[in-house]
Structure formats: structure tokens, C-alpha cells
Structure 1
């Protein structure tokens, strides 16, 4: 009985998991070509919050369609491009813009990669400037001990055993 329930529930669950977001309502361009051009330019600068790697101009997500409609409404009501951007940042955060503003909250985003490259370069320069450690010559007693170890190395207890120093 339990197997039958699983066999029935599995395809139903698969269909529910693969159900896509409803398609966005078709875009209705603004009647004024200048305003529509401004809207299209803003669409390229605004990131889709669902896709995150696409501009809302290219995104098929329903949220992107809603964002396009919101931008068109604000432009039609007379808002400036900066006012539209400010409203989007207020609603969705700095991440919604492909080029977020430079301010204290976004310094790491803007200057972090340069700082990492600078630190890596400094580490490489410091490492290259380090002088090699000079090895002191062996004392006669140490040379004697080394000779003894090397002599015993040739007389292995197990002739089939290999040493990592054999070069094989």
C-alpha cells in the first residue's frame, strides 16, 4: 500500500516541482518614443532579482516584467531616471543595479578586488625579496655520522625494499 502511494505521489510531486513561474504579462511600450527610449536604457542597467545575471530587458521572469511595468509607470508619471533608480534601490537594494553607487556600504564591492590584487602582489614581492637561507657546512663529526648512515643504507635488511631516494 505504501509503495502504491509513493508511485502515485512521485509523478505528482515531480510535476509540481517543475511547474514554472507564470509568464510575464506582455510589455506595453510607452506611447512617447523618447520616454520608451529612456525606459529601455534603464532596463539595461537594472538587474533581474530572479535571474541575477540578466538585465530585466532580457529576462523572461515575471518579476522582471513587473519591474519593467513599474519603470514605465514612473517614467510616464514624470520621474527622472535617477528617481527611478533610487526607488528601485529602496525596494530591492544596491544589488539591483549593475553599477551600484560608490558609498561606504559598497566600498568592498568596488575596491575589494583591487585590494586583493594589491595584497597578492605585495606577498609575491616580499617572497621574491627573501634571501635564501645559507646552510652551514657540516662539522667533521656530522660528516662521519652521515657517512655511517649512507653505508648502512646500502646494507638493507630487506633487499627487495626500495628507498624513496633510489630514483625509481
Structure 2
């Protein structure tokens, strides 16, 4: 696979993981997952992690995966490169895993004394990637190993933090986020 093809493949494969947390923010609110509980004097997760946001984020990422599968032949032909398709299990694994990764990062942030919205470089950019990849592997192991080859994983790990910083910076400048991270 050529370098450009690998980058396109990697970004396409990760789209169902890139969307859930954004959808959760847009549709969030509601009851916090931790129910307001504390551990060691700090919230377990905080108000930003809600059942509604998790459900809607997972549904959005899964729906995107299934939609991408429908348009893959046309997009592949237009781009002149192969693209992966997504089974329901793969899409659900990526989407739910992205949400779990972000929830796990919130837990770690609270344990280290960081408040909601506080920066945690590295973790902020890759938490959802780790969760998405792990859950996709568990949910659809054959699909995962065919889709996420070593070169694709390298692109994901290198490109995602850059995309994360750029898109969050734009959202901050547009007034859609309170912090640029």
C-alpha cells in the first residue's frame, strides 16, 4: 500500500472512533455516569461523562460506520484506492471503545487532581484511540487485524494527535469550546 493510500485508509478506518465524543458533547447533558460519587475526595468522573452522551456518541459512531460501509464502493472508486468496510461489531467496537477511552481518561484526570477541561497532554489526544482499538479488537478480531496493520496503526497514532489539536483549536477559535485542547 502506498503512503497516501495508507493515510487515507487509516483515517477512514478511524472515522467511527473520531465522531462519538463530538456527538456526545453536542447531545450530552443528563445524569452523570458516576452519579456524583467521589473517591478520595474527588469526583470519580465528573459531570462531563453522562449516560446520554455515551449512548448517543456510541450510536453516532456506529451509524457512521454503517453509513460509510454503504458508500465505500463509490468513495473508493472516486479516490482510486481501497477503503475498509465496517461490520456492525467493528463499528460498535470503535464507537463504544472511543467513549470508554475518554471515560477512562476522565477517571485518570480526576485521580491526578485535574479538573474537567484541564489539559493532560498525550492522554487527551490518544485516550479514545486506545479504547477504540482495544474494543474493536475484542468485538471484531479478524476485521481488526485485516484493517489495522502496523503501518496503519502508525498513521493513526501520529495523525490523531495532530488532528485533535488542530480541530480543537478551530473549535476554540469559533467559540465552540472553552479550552483549545
TM-score, with structure 1 as normaliser: 0.21
Tell which structure's C-alpha radius of gyration is larger.
1
The structure whose residues are more often helix, as a share, is 2
Higher relative contact order (CA 8 A, sep 6+): 2
TM-score, with structure 2 as normaliser: 0.20
